[in-house]
Structure 1
């Protein structure tokens, strides 16, 4: 059984968010994704999301809202992908990459939330969990009350 996954849409006050670019051996290509990773045993989705965000990007998310979850691959796996959004994220320091991530050359790119639909439409972001989480987050943000 595969562990659940947390995917984070971490918005700063200026509506910019981090994406990660890295080489993925399975597809033998460089992907552009939302920060994400496996939820460890004993963690809840929020804890896993905070840890992965900090490790991959150096960002922190004081508050997170789980806006939904979906099956990773319901034909072969039982795990879920949890989509979390932060509207008060910020960069707190350097990445804290594990050796596997460091070997893939994980690079952080900051984009505005307004750029995200175009990145999805052109296929620049094409990893299943990131695409689903991004569309879910965009719909949720469109309905969510605006920040003060």
Structure 2
């Protein structure tokens, strides 16, 4: 099932599979990513996902409590799990994520590729990964969205 919700970073398509959130897609949506299931705006998990996202964007929520089912390789799954350890308002470099995975800094490129394939952005906070020199680097949703998400978190800290 899938639905769409509005957000400060544009419309988001939320996709559920087997009782878990499997994707959040940025608009404009890729045709090849179009869910094969029917749209269901009243699906309980999709409603809860939209509710938690709205609270996050309003500065009222820092963490998400949703069942997740991102599809990816074992390495991608490890990277995505590590991204969830980066706290609200914090950032880490690709190299730091590699080191936390028990790899050398040389694996930062592989971490970057896995980061870019994260199917559940915002909830799995790939926007919190930055370049080693502190600069914003690529983001599947575009650098403008990444900057907005990081700014939102910085301004929500007390």
Larger helix share, 1 or 2: 2
- In our comparison, the structure showing a higher alpha carbon Rg is 2
| Same fold by TM-score greater than 0.5 | no
TM-score range relative to shorter protein: 0.3 to 0.5
Higher relative contact order structure (alpha carbons within 8 Å, sequence separation ≥ 6): 1
TM-score, length basis structure 2: 0.33
TM-score, length basis structure 1: 0.34
